[in-house]
């Protein structure tokens, strides 16, 4: 669009709000965090440096959630983002292949974090948004690590338990590390999940999504391998130091809040999922029905033009599927209230007038 700033990538939109904008952009829950976290605000201890590995009480609380785990198996990080970065940099120092297997479409940061760490990404193409075990098996022999993200950003799909168990066994047999990004593990609608386990598995999670605490930047990694944990801590001391102390105390309060908090959130996400999925289907879009997380990933032609027009003319933010390795799609986050979703759908309907062919 002439005279307008070019939309170059997600950084253009992250954190943008107000001015009548409807943002289906970043995956930022609009719901409030558990009220219990605000108790920490006036604690002066929380303005000091803390342990590089992370607050011990928070790690102890996390250890209770993982069978056989101890506090020493965790590192608390500045969001899952820092955990991904530390893990990939630590793995890059391990002997052997420098390849990492990513599922495509992928969360947009994965290829770049891998590249910054000195790893080369190779890709297995998802089939209907899910892992194709035949293709996966062909590629897994060539890599040091594989990254699994179920429920997935951007597809919203959840892998079958059998697939995850097969991956767990195959990678164990081949001596391939698994990075399991489980930031959406609590946000699944009516279906069982399976969390990959083992000494070769590094689990990554975050307080950003489950507890609506994105800006506090608290996540963690868990590994049964103590040597690996030490490697990560030895790097973290020279980069970000400890994770935000206030955020960690708030994360602990969030974990201790009544479990009904998470249950209520999931019910809300599910209603919103139905609203946006139904609305987009009615408008003629082709998309998968999300089983988890809070994203839809419909097909559309002329994505660059669509993004520009939706944003500059209709004040609607959507993300380009190409950023996730899937040109010809757009990603919409439904982490916003129902009235806004409805208004966003109305604007998309107006935008689509005369462009029905873009959906075929």
Ligand X SMILES: Cc1ncc(COP(=O)(O)O)c(C=O)c1O
In this structure, what is the dihedral angle of CA atoms 172, 173, 174, 180, given to the nearest 10 degrees? -20
Position 206 contacts ligand X (CB under 6 A)? yes
- Residue in 121, 208, 223, 243 binding ligand X, rule: CB under 6 A: 208
Task: Output phi, psi for 283, to 5 deg.
Answer: -80, -10
Q: How far is CA 282 from the centre of its chain?
A: 28
Position 182 contacts ligand X (CB under 6 A)? no
Nearer Cβ to ligand X, position 83 or 348?
Answer: 83
Position 153 contacts ligand X (CB under 6 A)? yes
Q: How far is the CB of 248 from ligand X (least distance, A)?
A: 13
Output the CA torsion sign for 228, 234, 238, 241: positive
Q: How far is CA 360 from the centre of its chain?
A: 29
Cα 228 to Cα 224: distance, rounded to the nearest angstrom: 9
Position 27 contacts ligand X (CB under 6 A)? yes
Position 80 contacts ligand X (CB under 6 A)? yes
Task: Output phi, psi for 180, to 5 deg.
Answer: -110, 105
Nearer Cβ to ligand X, position 109 or 120?
Answer: 109
Contacts of 169 (CB under 8 A, 6+ apart): none
Task: Output phi, psi for 353, to 5 deg.
Answer: -55, 120
Q: How many CB atoms lie within 10 A of CB 270?
A: 17
Which residue's C-beta sits nearest to ligand X? Answer: 79
Which among 245, 262, 265 is positioned nearest to 337, based on CA atoms? 265
In this structure, what is the dihedral angle of CA atoms 241, 243, 249, 255, given to the nearest 10 degrees? -140
Position 81 contacts ligand X (CB under 6 A)? yes
Nearer Cβ to ligand X, position 84 or 303?
Answer: 84
Q: How many CB atoms lie within 10 A of CB 231?
A: 19
Q: How many residues bind ligand X (CB under 6 A)?
A: 13
Region from 75-83, 194-202, 321-329, 336-344 binding ligand X, contact rule CB under 6 A: 75-83
- Residue in 86, 183, 201, 221 binding ligand X, rule: CB under 6 A: 183
Q: How far is the CB of 97 from ligand X (least distance, A)?
A: 23
Task: Mark residues 216-255: x for contact with ligand X by CB under 6 A, - for none.
Answer: ---x------------------------------------
Identify the H or E element spanning 22: strand 22-23
Chain positions 258 to 297 lying near ligand X, rule: CB under 6 A, are none
Position 148 contacts ligand X (CB under 6 A)? no
Region from 77-85, 121-129, 246-254, 256-264 binding ligand X, contact rule CB under 6 A: 77-85
User: Where does 62-118 show beta strands of DSSP type E?
Assistant: 74-77, 99-104
Position 163 contacts ligand X (CB under 6 A)? no
Q: How far is the CB of 246 from ligand X (least distance, A)?
A: 16
Q: If DSSP codes are grouped into helix, strand and coil, which group holds residue 339?
A: helix
Q: How many CB atoms lie within 10 A of CB 165?
A: 14
Nearer Cβ to ligand X, position 100 or 183?
Answer: 183
Q: How far is the CB of 145 from ligand X (least distance, A)?
A: 15
- Residue in 55, 85, 159, 181 binding ligand X, rule: CB under 6 A: 181
The residue ranges that bind ligand X (CB under 6 A) are: 27, 79-81, 107, 149, 153, 181, 183, 206, 208, 214, 219
């Amino acid at each position: 669009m002439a005279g307008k700033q070019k939309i170059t990538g997600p950084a253009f939109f992250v954190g943008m709000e107000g001015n009548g904008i409807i943002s289906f952009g970043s995956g930022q829950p609009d719901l409030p965090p558990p009220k219990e976290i605000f108790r920490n605000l006036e604690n002066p201890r929380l303005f000091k440096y803390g342990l590089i590995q992370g607050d011990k009480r928070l790690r102890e609380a996390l250890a209770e959630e993982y069978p056989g785990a101890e506090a020493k198996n965790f590192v608390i990080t500045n969001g899952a983002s820092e955990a991904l970065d530390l893990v990939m940099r630590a793995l890059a120092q391990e002997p052997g292949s420098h390849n990492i297997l990513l599922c495509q479409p992928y969360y947009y940061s994965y290829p770049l974090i891998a590249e910054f760490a000195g790893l080369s990404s190779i890709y297995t193409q998802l089939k209907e948004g899910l892992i194709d075990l035949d293709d996966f098996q062909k590629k897994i022999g060539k890599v040091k690590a594989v990254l699994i993200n179920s429920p997935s950003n951007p597809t919203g799909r959840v892998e079958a338990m059998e697939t995850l168990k097969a991956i767990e066994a195959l990678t164990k047999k081949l001596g391939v590390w698994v990075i399991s990004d489980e930031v959406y593990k609590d946000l699944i609608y009516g279906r069982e999940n399976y969390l990959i386990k083992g000494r070769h598995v590094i689990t990554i999670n975050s307080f950003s999504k489950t507890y609506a605490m994105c800006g506090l930047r608290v996540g963690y990694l868990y590994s049964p391998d103590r040597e690996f944990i030490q490697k990560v801590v030895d790097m973290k001391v020279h980069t970000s130091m400890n994770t935000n102390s206030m955020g960690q105390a708030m994360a602990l309060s969030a974990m201790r809040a009544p479990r009904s908090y998470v249950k209520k959130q999931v019910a809300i996400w599910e209603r919103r999922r139905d609203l946006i999925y139904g609305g987009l289907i009615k408008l003629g879009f082709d998309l998968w029905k999300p089983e988890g997380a809070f994203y839809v990933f419909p097909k559309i032609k002329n994505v660059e033009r669509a993004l520009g027009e939706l944003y500059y003319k209709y004040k609607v933010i959507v993300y380009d599927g190409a950023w996730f390795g899937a040109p010809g799609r757009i990603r919409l986050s439904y982490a916003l209230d129902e009235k806004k979703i409805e208004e966003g759908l109305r604007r998309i309907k107006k935008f689509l007038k005369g462009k029905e062919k873009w959906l075929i």
